[in-house]
Amino acid sequence: YVLLNKPKDYITTMNDPEGRKNVMELVRNACSERIYPVGRLDRTTTGVLLFTNDGELTKQLTHPRYGIKKIYRVTLDQNLKHNDFEKIKEGIELEDGFIKPDAIEYAEGSKNEIGIEIHSGRNRVVRRIFEQFGYKVVKLDRVYFAGLTKKALERGMWRHLTEKEIGFLKMTPA
């Protein structure tokens, strides 16, 4: 069980035929076992990414029915209008269905930095929510995943989970 603070410009894949940098290069020396990323973060998204070889846990953490909590810090190219904020808060229809954040708030002292909590694992869903209203996501950072944070973990660095963290993850309702 390895936690990475994923930097920008790394793709979340096991290998890439195009030869781009991938997250496996960053955790290569973390353990002798073969580990896999739990879910995905797109190339430009940074933040908390978990790796494991525990298939049962991976299934629990990625299946939408378990509603695993994820929190992102979103930086937009312009201030988020209050009206758009309220619409997002109430939920919106995207091309692949309705999406309603579990929570959304402005970052302290800023109208273009937003905290959004979501449990959906749909592809690029956070970016698509804001793009629906004409905003460009300049920066997207996952700061929380299933109880794990990147606290005290420099970008591009990894650490092993503690026994307590592993126990907490395994208590996730199945």
**Which residues does the annotation mark as catalytic?**
42
What backbone torsions phi and psi does residue 59 show, to the nearest 5 degrees?
A: -60, -45
Q: How far apart are CA 99 and CA 87, in angstroms?
A: 11
Q: How far apart are CA 99 and CA 121, in angstroms?
A: 11
Structure tokens at 108: 């302290």
Q: How far apart are CA 165 and CA 147, in angstroms?
A: 8
